[in-house]
Chain A
Amino acid sequence: MSWDWQVFCEDTITREVGERCFGQGGDITYLDWLLSAWGWTVSVSVLALALALVVGAVVGTLRTLPNRPVVVGLGNAWVELFRNIPLLVQIFLWYHVVPALFPALKGVPGFVLVVIALGLFTSARIAEQVKSGIQALPRGQRYAGMALGLTTAQTYRYVLLPMALRIVIPPLTSETMNIFKNSSVAFAVSVAELTMFAMQAQEETGRGIEVYLAVTGLYIVSAFAINRVMAFIEKRSRVPGFIVAGGTGGH
């Protein structure tokens, strides 16, 4: 079993090894391509994450509103819709079916459709977590807010959400890491990201093991980086003695 890591320094057209591993004068080596594909993966993941966090937090909060059964029902329907359909099927629906139903969307690039599909899929999971975080708080918190004369919106803004969001940071970290891993399905709709690079480069160079090891390494690095970002956020937002996050449990 022989290793050939030089394959990354080969030019993608002539398959010759250049003296520097980055292409010069318009030539592209496999290393350039790998990094460009990584850039696409990170772009898709980060944009989808932003969409998912905003939409998920809103929907999750709406699902806990008192005295608004219609809104709660709509929130539940949203979550059930996006949770019950597999991600790959959702991506195909957005890419092939929705533009056929709404011709206005035909001109939208595949990248945007994938971000929407991935973002909404993850928003359902984030909504579920935010709802659990809010429901984990003692009832007294909401009543105390009402007793102080705060409106519902103010209760959420100043009392409930600050605590609930701190509680759900650990599962949210899992979701952010999941988005990076799930972005690999974007290859099916022609986004030039890491998985597509792996399949194509493996076919062209025949060095499947080196290519897949490099791609796996980059996925690990990306997922771990976002994990550390979330850990940093958690540490900076911690209120001492408030909710013992990451400690031995209990209040």
Chain B
Amino acid sequence: MKKSLFACAVLGLAATAAIAQANDTLAKIKSSGSVTLGVRESSGLSYTLGGGKFVGFHTEMGERILADVQKQLGLSKLDVKYQPVTSQNRIPLVQNGTVDLECGSTTNNTARQRDVAFAITTYVEEVRIAVKANSGINSIRDLVGKTVATTTGTTSVQTLRKHERANGVDFKEIYGKDHADSFLLLESGRADAFVMDGSILAANIAKSKAPADFKVVGEVLSVEPIACMLRKDDPAFKKAVDDSIKRQIADGSLAKLYDKWFMQPIPPANVNLKMPLSDTTKAAWANPNDKPMEEYAVK
């Protein structure tokens, strides 16, 4: 009698565990009245002003997405919690349920699609080179034999490696532990160039002591679609997020938001990044899709 009761209990637990596997973020939001938005602390698209305040193009877009979700679920109040994430922990945190929607600067690629799902692409990052204006470097070919800085834990490391292999060039790589550190390597002269996403280069140059000393040069080394990240196998939530983004594109609010964060002075230093909308991003908005980076490379 005891054994069969125990067996039933185990089966019951296993069944509930199995049910919990099928992700349903919308149900979770509805029942708990709160949602966790993953944000970054110092990325071009999402950063902190200190004191728990998170701002940026993608952060604000994420807030608007969640407002649409709140309307869709008919909730009178939705508590949005902000969870800062890093390149290291963003995927595990989404997978284990700590973060429901991460809108930062995560590249959509096939390797990550094995672990998480992505919303439609809202920003297309182009990896470029930042150099000192007087260095005479104008393209990646000029970097042969020079020292190139990039940040540990980013996709730019792989991009550089692929480029070296494909073109048979050789340059010395040094790695900063975060974007500010990598920019410091360029500033102090330890590195001749800093290779990273264009928006991060622009943000760091704008925040530096002497922005006129630097410029962003060279061909586009890699095109990376940036999208919000959510849990896999949750079609209802993905549809809600995608619909919200499509609405923002259609009624022009996303374009206005882009303008606010890239073409006008932004906090904390009131500097203007002066980055007009790139053709690839315009194309991504015109044809909303969640294609991974590998499919962009073919073009």
Q: Does A199 contact B (CB under 8 A)?
A: yes
- Whether B158 contacts A13 by the Cβ 8 Å rule is yes
Instruction: Identify 20 new A-B residue pairs, CB closer than 8 A, beyond the known A13-B161, A188-B177, A199-B152.
Output: A12-B161, A13-B165, A15-B111, A96-B188, A106-B190, A187-B152, A187-B177, A190-B174, A190-B175, A190-B176, A190-B185, A196-B175, A199-B88, A199-B153, A200-B153, A203-B88, A204-B158, A205-B111, A206-B91, A208-B92
In terms of DSSP, what is the predominant structure of the interface of chain A? helix
Q: State whether the Cβ of B184 lies closer than 8 Å to any Cβ in chain A.
A: yes
Known: A190-B174, A196-B175. A203 touches B188 (CB 8 A): no
* Total contacting residues, chain B, CB less than 8 A: 27
Complex contacts, A132 vs chain B, CB 8 Å = none
Which residues on B sit within 8 Å (CB–CB) of A188? 177, 181
Contact present for A196 and B152 (CB under 8 Å):
yes
**Residues of chain B from 238 to 264 with CB closer than 8 A to chain A in the complex:** none
Q: Would you call A110 an interface residue if the criterion is a C-beta within 8 Å of the partner chain's C-beta atoms?
A: yes
Chain B contacts of A96 at CB under 8 A? 184, 188
Residues of A within 8 A of B177 (CB): 187-188
Decide yes or no whether B157 CB sits under 8 A from chain A: yes
B141 within 8 A of A: no
Cα distance A106–B191 in the bound complex, in angstroms = 11
Residue of B nearest to A208 (CB): B92
Are A206 and B112 also in contact (CB < 8 A) when A106-B189, A187-B177, A190-B174 are?
A: yes
Chain B residues positioned under 8 Å from A213 (CB to CB): none
Considering residues A12, A99, A200, A203, which has the most beta carbons from chain B within 10 angstroms of its beta carbon? Answer: A203
Q: Which residue of B lies closest to A196 (CB)?
A: B152
Whether the Cβ atoms of A203 and B153 lie closer than 8 Å is yes
B154 within 8 Å of A by Cβ?
Answer: yes
Interface membership of A90, Cβ < 8 A: no
Give the residues from 169 to 202 in chain B that come closer than 8 angstroms, CB to CB, to chain A.
174-177, 181, 184-185, 188-190
Instruction: Name the A residues within 8 Å of B154 (CB-CB).
Output: 203
A81 at the interface (CB under 8 A from B): no
